[in-house]
Amino acid sequence: MNDNLLPITSVVEPELEEEVKAMLADVEKRAGFAKITMSIDPWAPEDPIDDSWQCSEVTIEGLPPLYLFTRSEIISLDLEEGPKLYRSGLPVLRTSVVNVGRQTLSEQLLLKAQKYTRRIFWGLNNTRMEWDNLDFSYLLLPVDDVDTTWDIRRSWLINARKETPERYPHHLMVRANDFGEKFGYPSDLTLVHRHIGMGRPFKFIGWQHDPLSPEEEEELNQRYGKHFSDVQITYPLMIVQPYPPRTNFLIPTSTSKSDDSSEVQPPPLIYLLPRFSGVVLLSPEETEYAFLLPSILRSLSMSSTANSLRKNLFSSTPLENISIALLTTAITAPSSGERLNYQRMETLGDAVLKFTAGVQLLAEYPLWHEGYLTRKKDHAVSNVRLAKEDISKGLYRWIIRGK
């Protein structure tokens, strides 16, 4: 007998002697780390030979719809199921995704979608992008693709860069004074750089044609005096505000409201000298896309990961038809920083696993007493056993853990 007064061998069932010895051994402890491969790429093509794209129509409340072209399958989601975007002090935005079907893009349409995708993300991410790299995992294109005032302005900049590249060195950005003089100081600007091509952009509020107060002029002189020795204030000035420091709009804020706006203290107004500042040539709608689309794409990538798990590992099992929303939560780790993760489900899952393991052992070993059964259950549901099963089946490849 062992220290717990349990028989070391089975007299009643001698054929299970080795199993009894394994059961009585100490429960193996889990190693701190295990070498695994990276998670799957939800945007990778399912068939590398197939050069077609899946077309989906993405709708964000209050904005014109967009076509989304992907190489992988995107699940259709209505306004209730689609990603919800939470903005500080503003109503919650609902989105929908409708699967249109697969199609092969012509070279002309492909290039057009690549350039539009680059334009949308360049305004906020130009320091992390290369202008000539058009190799995107997904492509965007307006459903109602018509020329706008902003297309005329961008065409002017393209021609100006060809004629005098030293004066216009930046893609999709021009000095605010040049832009204002050329187009009559329009009021539909969006992204403004305090120093052209540097730092995080500000939100454009308007042009200041009236003189500032002496206190405001002193503040403006102090702001530019740090970088320039002789600063002369000329009008009009630009009025801007900082954008809220948010990037993931999938997470609610305490000031987000689903049905009405909340009273939020607005950021302070800042005055800028146009000859030092830069204007990003994006329309108001395109700027909204630039801020909101990364969160939508993040949500779609998570749904695609869950769908891939359902189609591959769960194929021909009862889990094949599990809800995508439920499965997405079940594979999302706390380290992802998302609103929902598997921590609450883990509590229920542990209880269900131990219950089912106990029922199975009671049926499989009818002659074993509770001491043997408990010990066997500990082995069956131990962390090391579950980790080994995870690695052997490759389940880790579908765990969403990166931010």
Domain range for 19: 14-37+307-398
pLDDT tens string 76-116: 999 998 999 998 888 999 999 999 999 999 999 999 999 99
Give φ, ψ of 194 to 5 degrees.
Answer: -60, -45
How many Cβ atoms are within 10 Å of 147's Cβ, its own excluded? 8
Choose one of 212, 247, 282: the last residue of a domain: 282
Q: 70 in a domain, yes or no?
A: yes
Residues 153 and 205 in one domain: yes
Domain count, the chain: 3
What's the gap between Cα 227 and its chain centre? 37
Residues 253 and 155 in one domain: yes
Q: What local confidence, expressed as pLDDT, does residue 77 receive?
A: 92
Is 401:39 a contact under the CB 8 Å cutoff? yes
145 contact partners, CB below 8 Å, separation of at least 6: none
Q: 292 in a domain, yes or no?
A: no
Q: What local confidence, expressed as pLDDT, does residue 17 receive?
A: 63
Q: What local confidence, expressed as pLDDT, does residue 26 receive?
A: 63
Residues 390 and 364 in one domain: yes
Q: 299 in a domain, yes or no?
A: no
Q: What local confidence, expressed as pLDDT, does residue 259 receive?
A: 47
Residues 167 and 273 in one domain: yes
Choose one of 234, 266, 282: the last residue of a domain: 282
Residues 87 and 22 in one domain: no
Q: 291 in a domain, yes or no?
A: no
Structure tokens that stand for 29 in this block: 């402890």
pLDDT under 50 in the chain at which residues? 259-262
Q: What local confidence, expressed as pLDDT, does residue 4 receive?
A: 61
Q: What local confidence, expressed as pLDDT, does residue 354 receive?
A: 93
Q: What local confidence, expressed as pLDDT, does residue 284 receive?
A: 95
Residues 80 and 102 in one domain: yes
**pTM check: above 0.75:** yes
- Angle between helix axes 370-380 and 343-364 (nearest 10 degrees) is 140
Residues 243 and 139 in one domain: no
Residues 131 and 76 in one domain: yes
Q: What is the 3-state secondary structure (H, E, C) of 4-53?
A: CCCCCCCCCCHHHHHHHHHHHCCCCCCCCCCCCCCCCCCCCCCCCCCCCE
Q: What local confidence, expressed as pLDDT, does residue 261 receive?
A: 47
Residues 33 and 58 in one domain: no
